[in-house]
Amino acid sequence: MATSTSTQPRDTWGSKLGFVMAAAGSAVGLGNIWKFPYTAGESGGGAFVAIYLVFVIFIGFSVMLTEFAIGRKTGLSAVGAFKSTDRRWTFTGVMGVVSGLLIMGFYPVVGGWALAYIFKVGGGLLSAPSAIGDSFGGFISDPIQPIMWMGIYLLMNVVIVMRGVSGGIEKAGKVLMPLLFVILIIVSVKGLSLPGASAGLKFLFTPDFSKVDSSVVLAALGQAFFSLSLGMGCMMTYGSYLKKKENLVQTTGMVTAMDTGVAILAGIAMFPAMFAFGMEPAAGPGLVFVVVPQLFAEMGGAIGILLALLFFIGLTVAALTSSVSLLEVVVSYLIDEKGMKRSTAVLSASAVMSVLCVFASLSLGGIGPTLFGTGAFDIFDLLTDKIFLAVGGMLVCIFAGWRLSKADLEKEITNNGEVPFPLFGLWYNLVKYIIPVAIAIVAIMGIKSGFDSGKGAIMLLGIGIIAIAGLFSKKF
Ligand code: TRP
């Protein structure tokens, strides 16, 4: 039944730890350290964080387990996994590949900023703390510099993914993830030691539900999906490389916990310091690039510079282990379904991504085409984060719940009954009924409120794209 054109035996992960670290490496990235803090800041803090956590536990965990199970069961990447079961579902996989391309249309831009900041810190950025904010604004709106850094960053992705899953991705994840964790703890301790820091903790952890509207709820759902790498077949693709004897439930639990832990830690690293410095929590996408250098400048001396260097190295590496997973989704589609050689697949995918990234980067300086008044960077982010990932996750659940057999899923998740999963019934009902309905409600209300902020047209465009893909699903 499988329509895969590749006949070689599938590469698998070198070790259990290797897989967990690679999947956690995919999950932990700019989503946790760059996106989570500024989205929480813009969305009012505590209530957003609380809703996000509820979504992670009830929706994120279940969807990740579903993606791992489907990926490992079919042994195919996003498109093939659906296609081999039912051709009508192929579009869900194709949507995932499109989401991967679109996320990679802005992710490497921010990855490039992180890379650039290693050199900026080395070049004396911290010596003029009051200029750090303006320097960031000037840098990202420059038409040339950020594009250069993006190019270098994307090239690093190409090199890693060329070498294949168990070579490049796995090693990068294993060595560099723990480093980042340690750095974040140091940053947090420093931030918490500043006078007035406790207001930041209060902002982050005391929910004020009067600030919540449907756009905040949709932002929390989008953040949960984005941060956990869900809703586009990424974890499905990683799962397809997973050995049959590994414990899926445990792996899902570990990856979810690590990802959420890092996001919360990033919040603790940033908000107390911001409040101590008297900065605005709603400072937007520049937050980590402004607050963290200021924090280290405050520390002063060689230690401040050294820690800032380590932080941006860690951030770049975290971003890399995530973006290679996005690139891998597109690449494995081209290999499995289009019969391309890995090197051709990597080069063609990254060529498209680099063009999208140029538009995204230029749009931050106000250059280039806009749609309904929104630039490329924001369009790619809105379409994926607010629409495609959540709808993708919903479709994955509907597919698992209504198209696959319950018995097969139970066999896959319990390794033919070898590892018990007492909550199987709960998981199954969540996936079959509750999650699809919950996502539909959040998405519809979020899109409605998107109209009030002028973003509704783009969201509708996203829905239109999905509908068209669905109509032509047999063509893919
Ligand atoms: N989760 C990653 C981050 O937090 C980004 C990412 C990697 C992603 N793979 C994905 C997001 C798949 C959505 C889908 O930075």
Distance of CA 249 to the CA centre of its chain: 21
Domain assignment present for 7? no
Domain assignment present for 156? yes
CA of 353 to the centre of ligand 1 (A): 15
Domain assignment present for 6? no
Task: Report residues whose beta carbon is within 6 angstroms of any ligand 1 atom.
Answer: 26-27, 29-32, 103, 226-227, 229, 232, 234, 322, 325-326, 389
pLDDT value at 1 more than 60 = no
Domain assignment present for 380? yes
Query: For residue range 257-290, what is the model confidence (pLDDT) as tens digits?
Result: 999 999 999 999 999 999 998 888 888 888 999 9
Protein residue whose Cα sits closest to atom 4 of ligand 1: 31
The per-residue b/e assignment along 212-233, b for 16 or more CB within 10 angstroms, e otherwise, is bebbbbbbbbbbbbbbbbbbbb
Number of domains making up the chain: 1
In 3D space, the residue among 100, 106, 110, 107 whose CA is nearest the CA of residue 388 turns out to be 100
Domain assignment present for 8? no
Domain assignment present for 107? yes
Q: What is the pLDDT of residue 169?
A: 57
Atom of ligand 1 at shortest range from CA of 27: 1
Domain assignment present for 377? yes
* Amino acid occupying residue 436: P
- Of 7-11, 148-152, 311-315, the range with the lowest mean pLDDT is 7-11
CATH of the domain at 265: 1.10.4160
- Angle, CA 282 vertex, CA 281 and CA 283 arms, to 5°: 90
Which residues lie across from 375 on neighbouring strands? 370
Tell me the C-alpha distance between 132 and 343, whole Å.
40
Query: What's the pTM?
Result: 0.94
In 3D space, the residue among 144, 163, 153 whose CA is nearest the CA of residue 107 turns out to be 153
Enclosing domain of residue 248: 16-475
Atom of ligand 1 at shortest range from CA of 231: 14
The CA–CA distances, whole Å, from 307 to 126, 296, 314 equal: 11, 7, 10
Query: For residue range 143-168, what is the model confidence (pLDDT) as tens digits?
Result: 999 999 999 999 999 998 888 766 65
In this prediction, residues 385-395 reach a mean pLDDT of 95
- Angle, CA 414 vertex, CA 391 and CA 71 arms, to 5°: 40
DSSP-derived letter for residue 285 is T
Q: What percent of the chain has pLDDT over 90?
A: 67
In 3-state terms, what secondary structure has residue 370? Answer: strand
CA of 322 to the centre of ligand 1 (A): 6
Q: What is the pLDDT of residue 38?
A: 93
In this prediction, residues 360-387 reach a mean pLDDT of 93
pLDDT value at 175 more than 90 = no
Taking all residues of the chain, what is their mean pLDDT, rounded to a whole number? Answer: 90
Q: Where are the alpha helices (DSSP H) in 364-434?
A: 376-381, 389-398, 406-413, 424-429
CA of 327 to the centre of ligand 1 (A): 11
In this prediction, residues 198-224 reach a mean pLDDT of 94
Domain assignment present for 48? yes
